[in-house]
Amino acid sequence: MVKYNLGLIFVILILCSTFVVAESFDISTQVLLDEINIDQEAKFLLIIKNNLFNSQDYRLTFGDIGLWQSYTTEPLSDYFSGINGVNGGDSFTTKIILKPISEIGLGFHNVVINVEEVSSKKIQSIRLPIYIKSINPNDQEYFPQITTNIQFPNEIVPRENNIIRIDPRENNIIRIALLNKNRKDLTNVEVRLESGIIKKILSTSIEPLSKQILEVQMEIDPLHPPEFDTLYSTVIIEGYTFKPDPIRFEIIDYSGEYKLTENVIKGFLKTTSKRVYTNDGNMPRSQIIKIETSLLSDVFESSDPSPNQIIKENDKRYRVWNVQLAPGGVFNLELYNSYRSIFYLLLISVISYYLYLKLKSPIVITKETKNIEMREGGISEVKVLLSLKNISHVPIERITIIDKVPNIANVTSEYDVGTLRPSKIMKHAHKGSTIVQWDVEELDAHEDRLIVYRIKSRLTILGKFSLPLAMVKFHTKSGKLHKVFSNRLVIGKS
C-alpha cells in the first residue's frame, strides 16, 4: 500500500512538472522557397500554436536584417498590426517574405524571427536559413526593374507629421505611377493595396521604358469616423516583389454646427416653422439650440418638442433644447406662433355683444315705492312709481303697461299732476287682486316715462308684503309680441 501511494505521488509530480515546463505557445516554420537569386524573395510559413485556454495576441519582429532589402508578412497587417485574437488551442499561420540586397553575397544566410506573446511578454525566436545563388550576368538586364510612386490627389494640405489628411466627403482617388526601367515588356504586373478601409488588387502591363498610371477609388463612407490608417502596397512581377514605403493617412473630423433647414408655413393667424437640424459631420455631436422668446411671446408661442429649459442671458429669455446626434442624425423641431386664441376670444365677445343687443328688450321698466304712510304701527298707504325707458334707437308704438295690486289694498283715485292715468282698472275674477293698465301710444328713442299711482290698504298691514311684477307688452315692426317685467318689491319690516 505504501509503494502504491509513493508511485501515485511520483506520477503526480511528473505531470505537474510537465505543466510547469510546457510553453504557453509554440512556433514552427515551413519552407516555401529558401534557395533564391539575389533578385528573388525567400518565402516561409510561420505557424504559431496557442497552448492556453484563452485567446492571445502576438507581435513579430525581425533580427539580423541588415542584408535584407525588405522583410514583411502576407498579409502586411500581421507584421505591422500584429496577430490578434488567436483562440485557445488554435494555430495561426502567416507567410514570411524576405528579399535580399544586391550586395548580400552568395551562400547561406540566417534571419531570426522573434514572436512575442503580448499578455505575458514571453518571446520565442526561430532562425530561417536562406541560400543565395548566383545568376547569369547576361540575363541581369531582363530582370524587372520598376519604380512606384503613389499619390493622393485630393489630400488636404498642409500635411501634419507627414501624414496625409483625407476628407471622406471628397472623391478620393489613389493614383499609382509605375515606371518600367528596363527594356523588358512587363505583361503581368499585379499591384496590391491594403489598409484598414481599402483592399484592392489591380492587374496591368507596362511596355519597355514606359510609364503606366493606375487609379483606384477609395470608396470611403462620408460618415466614416476620424481615424489614422496605413496604406501598404505591393507590386508583383513574374514572382518578383517590390514593396514601396507604407503611407500613413488620416480620415479627418469635419464635424461642425448642425445644418439647419427650415420650412415656414403661414396660415390664418398662425405661422408654423418646421426646422430640421442635421449632424452632417462624421462624429457624434452635442449642441445647444437656443431660440429667443419673451414673457409676452410665451402666450402665443409653443413648440414640439417642448424646450428642456428656459434661461435668461443678457436680459433676454431663451428656450433651450439640449440635442445630441450621431453622424447623419436629425432633430425635428416645430415652432408655432398663433394668434387664433385672441381672435376667437374677440370674435366670441363681438358675437355675444351683438346677440345681447339683438335679444335684449328695447324697453326697461323698474318699480319702486315712495311716501310710505304708517298708521297704528302698520302700513296704510304707498306711492308706487313705474319708470319706463326706451333704450333703443327707434320709437316704439302701442305699449301696454300692466301692474297688479294685492287684494289687501286698493288703487286710490288720487294722481299726481302730469302723470299718466290708467286706461283700465279691474278686479281679477278669481284671485281678487286689482289689475291696473296703462296704454302708451308711442315712446320715442331714449325717452323716459314715469307712471305714478297710490295704493291704500284696507287694513293696517303689519310686517311686510310684496308687490307683484309689473309687465310691459308691445309689438315689434315685424308684429312679434314682446313682454318685459319689472323687479319685485317687498315693503315693510320683519
Q: Rounded distance, CA 205 to CA 144, Å? A: 12
pTM (2 d.p.): 0.53
How high is the pLDDT of residue 414? 82
Cβ(293)–Cβ(318) under 8 Å?
yes
Domain boundaries 259-341, corresponding CATH code = 2.60.40
How high is the pLDDT of residue 361? 84
Q: Rounded distance, CA 341 to CA 301, Å? A: 11
Strand order of the β-sheet with 424-427 is: 424-427, 434-443, 396-405, 471-475, 481-485
Cβ(411)–Cβ(434) under 8 Å?
yes
CA neighbor of 474 nearest in space, from 388, 390, 386, 399: 399
How high is the pLDDT of residue 386? 92
How high is the pLDDT of residue 1? 47
246 DSSP 8-state letter: P
CA neighbor of 265 nearest in space, from 341, 334, 321: 334
Which fold would CATH assign to domain 140-251?
Answer: Immunoglobulin-like (2.60.40)
How high is the pLDDT of residue 161? 73
How high is the pLDDT of residue 199? 93
CA neighbor of 23 nearest in space, from 52, 47, 46: 52
The burial class, CB within 10 Å (0-12 / 13-18 / 19+), for 394 is exposed
Which fold would CATH assign to domain 22-135?
Answer: Immunoglobulin-like (2.60.40)
Q: Rounded distance, CA 450 to CA 370, Å? A: 13
Give the total residue count for the chain.
Answer: 494
Residue extents of the structural domains in the chain: 22-135, 140-251, 259-341, 361-492
Backbone φ and ψ of 79, nearest 5°: -90, -50
Which cell numbers in the block locate residue 138? 547576361
Which fold would CATH assign to domain 361-492?
Answer: Immunoglobulin-like (2.60.40)
Mean pLDDT per segment of 10 residues, for the chain of length 494 residues? 49 44 85 87 94 94 82 89 92 92 78 93 91 66 78 72 87 92 88 92 92 92 92 87 87 91 93 94 93 88 93 92 94 93 92 84 90 76 90 89 87 82 84 87 91 84 81 85 88 68
Backbone φ and ψ of 54, nearest 5°: -110, 165
Q: Rounded distance, CA 75 to CA 91, Å? A: 16
Cβ(484)–Cβ(472) under 8 Å?
yes
DSSP of 416-478, one letter per residue? -TTPPPPSEEEE-TTT--EEEEEEEEEE-TT-EEEEEEEEEEEEEE-SEEEEPPPEEEEE-TT
Residue for cell digits 396660415?
267
Same-fold call for 22-135 versus 361-492: yes
